[in-house]
């Protein structure tokens, strides 16, 4: 499992493709941006009022690292998630 | 018959006018209704995960029980998510001040919100180890209490709490605090695609944060651009996809780079930072364009558009976005101003604030 800087965000960091992870966003952001290394297809997901965001793990992905990024000031925050299983 | 001493009656009269105020402790918790109820959201505390400065501007209506009293302590409560917290510490400098305006007029400038701050605490703040909670609690293991070294006499009106925090000797820790978020937000709609190296297959590398499009707050517009390079954020009245190729007005511009904005009302040069993380260089570096939205009726529901240029990529153009300010005004009664600890101004959010408990004598 790869762990980047944990600033502003915490939560489970691995899940099977097709499943979801839930992260707790602590920096006040109301949305997170997600991408896979090499995927070059960032997507945005809302943060619920309770600070949690549910991020689906794309089916078929394997061995890649998923990044969850918040864009809000004062500093963007990042969580890296390694997908460890295949469907 | 013995007659009372001449000053006894005035003393008794005065005591009847101010029963218990000389020694009774009063507590007030903001936002309203949260003292025994879990707040709807979560927000980090200064110095837990990085060096931060946070101001909280509190409306006078939430503090009426404390008028004329000496504020002696301030408490935060842990967030209620089902996770045990290992604890840690931070170094805090805490000021309290009468604010010259309410939360919906909060300024990005820390000094403008607290023109005459009083230092009430400076030192190490321990964050207790806390098991997964069963409900909101102010117990010692679920809260952080700051006892003021110098009481602050609260005279009424808006109040501001100003905390600068840096991680303690053991380094950063995760101790998310309970907070309330009011679900007031604007909306954002994409218009067209961009060009250049970032933003995925459609090069949509610019984005307005809908949750920040609120009257009285700081609207935040972001873009992924050349790390260390320079961008330009342009604001217009509206946008139409692929209005014309950039090369039509800028010879040499790359094919596929299009202008979407129908006009430019304002623009600003914005530097792109380094990658968010060294492994994320492929995302680019983030640029932030900030815009204070006044708490004025004309702002409610107003729609504009933005598009960015990456000057370091031969004027690569971004997607455009229509963005609309929330049609209603936040009613939380509090605003949070956040920045890195070294900065003198931050971003204002009138929809999010910690659950704060004040103690007064």
pLDDT tens-place string over residues A32-55? 998 765 566 788 999 999 999 988
**Strand B230-236 with B303-310, pairing:** antiparallel
DSSP tag of B66: G
pTM: 0.91
Helix or strand (DSSP H, E) at B339: strand B334-340
Per-residue pLDDT of chain B (361 residues; tens, 9 = 90+): 445 455 444 444 444 444 444 458 999 999 999 999 999 999 999 999 999 999 999 999 999 999 999 999 999 999 998 889 999 999 999 999 999 999 999 999 999 999 999 999 999 999 999 999 999 999 999 999 999 999 999 999 999 999 999 999 999 999 999 999 999 999 999 999 999 999 988 999 999 999 999 999 999 999 999 999 999 999 999 999 999 999 999 998 989 999 999 999 999 999 999 988 887 888 899 999 999 999 999 999 999 999 999 999 999 999 999 999 999 999 999 999 999 999 999 999 999 999 999 999 9
Residues in contact with A46: Cβ distance below 8 Å, sequence separation at least 6, in sequence order: A30, A31, A53
Closest to B200 (Cβ–Cβ): which among A28, A30, A41?
A41
Q: CA B34 → CA B39, B78, B356, B357, distances in Å?
A: 6, 13, 9, 9
Q: How many of the other CB atoms lie within 10 Å of CB of B133?
A: 21
Is B277 in Cβ contact with A80 (below 8 Å)?
A: yes
**Whole-number pLDDT of residue B11:** 42
Whether the Cβ atoms of residue B212 and residue A51 lie closer than 8 Å to each other? no
DSSP tag of B341: T
Buried b (16+ CB within 10 A) or exposed e, A70-79: bbbbbbbbbb
How confident is residue A62, by pLDDT bands cut at 50, 70 and 90?
A: low
Which tokens in the block code for residue B53?
A: 């400065």
ipTM: 0.87
Positive or negative, the Cα torsion across B163, B165, B168, B174?
Answer: positive
Domains of chain B listed by start with CATH number: 22-182+330-360 (2.60.120), 187-324 (no CATH)
Domains of chain A listed by start with CATH number: 9-82 (2.60.40.10)
**Whole-number pLDDT of residue A2:** 36
**Whole-number pLDDT of residue B19:** 44
B215-254 residues touching A, CB cutoff 8 A: 218, 220, 222
Q: How far is A32 from chain B (nearest CA, A)?
A: 10
Is A6 in Cβ contact with B280 (below 8 Å)?
A: no
Partners of residue B200 in chain A, C-beta under 8 Å: 35, 40-42
pLDDT in tens, A9-22: 777 777 777 788 88
Phi, psi torsion values for B340, nearest 5 degrees: -65, 155
Q: What is the Cα–Cα distance from B147 to B174, expressed in whole angstroms?
A: 22
């Amino acid at each position: 499992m790869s762990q980047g800087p944990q600033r502003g965000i915490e939560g489970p960091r691995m899940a099977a493709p097709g499943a979801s992870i839930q992260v707790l966003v602590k920096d006040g952001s109301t949305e997170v941006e997600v991408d896979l290394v090499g995927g070059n297809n960032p997507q945005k997901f809302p943060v619920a009022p309770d600070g949690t965001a549910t991020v689906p793990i794309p089916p078929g992905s394997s061995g890649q690292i998923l990044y969850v990024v918040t864009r809000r000031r004062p500093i963007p925050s990042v969580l890296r998630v390694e997908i460890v299983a295949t469907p | 018959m013995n007659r009372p001493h001449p000053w006894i009656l005035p003393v008794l009269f005065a005591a009847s006018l101010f029963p218990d105020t000389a020694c009774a402790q009063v507590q007030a918790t903001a936002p309203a209704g949260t003292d025994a109820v879990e707040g709807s959201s979560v927000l980090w505390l200064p110095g837990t995960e990085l060096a931060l400065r946070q101001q909280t501007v509190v409306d006078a209506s939430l503090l009426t029980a404390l008028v004329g009293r000496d504020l002696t302590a301030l408490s935060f409560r842990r967030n209620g998510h089902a996770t045990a917290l290992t604890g840690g510490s931070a170094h805090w400098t805490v000021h309290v001040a009468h604010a010259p305006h309410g939360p919906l007029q909060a300024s990005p400038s820390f000094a403008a919100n607290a023109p005459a701050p009083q230092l009430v605490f400076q030192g190490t703040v321990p964050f207790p180890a806390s098991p997964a909670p069963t409900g909101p609690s102010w117990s010692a293991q679920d809260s952080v209490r700051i006892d003021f070294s110098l009481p602050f006499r609260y005279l009424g009106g808006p109040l501001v709490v100003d905390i600068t925090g840096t991680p303690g000797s053991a380094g950063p820790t995760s101790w998310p605090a309970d907070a309330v978020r009011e679900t007031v937000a604007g909306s954002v709609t994409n218009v067209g695609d961009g060009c250049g190296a970032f933003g995925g297959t459609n090069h949509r590398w610019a984005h307005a944060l809908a949750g920040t499009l609120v009257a009285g707050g700081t609207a935040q517009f972001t873009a992924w651009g050349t790390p260390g390079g320079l961008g330009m954020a342009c604001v217009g009245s509206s946008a139409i996809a692929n209005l014309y190729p950039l090369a039509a007005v800028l010879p040499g511009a790359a094919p596929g780079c299009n202008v979407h904005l129908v006009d430019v009302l304002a623009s600003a040069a914005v530097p792109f930072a380094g990658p968010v993380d060294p492994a994320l260089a492929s995302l680019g570096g983030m640029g932030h364009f900030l815009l204070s939205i006044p708490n004025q009726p004309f702002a409610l529901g107003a729609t504009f558009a933005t598009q960015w240029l990456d000057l370091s990529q031969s004027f690569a153009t971004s997607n455009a976005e229509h963005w609309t300010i929330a049609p209603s005004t936040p009613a939380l009664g509090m605003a949070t101003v956040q920045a890195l600890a070294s900065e003198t101004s931050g971003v204002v959010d009138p929809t999010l604030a910690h659950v704060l408990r004040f103690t007064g004598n």
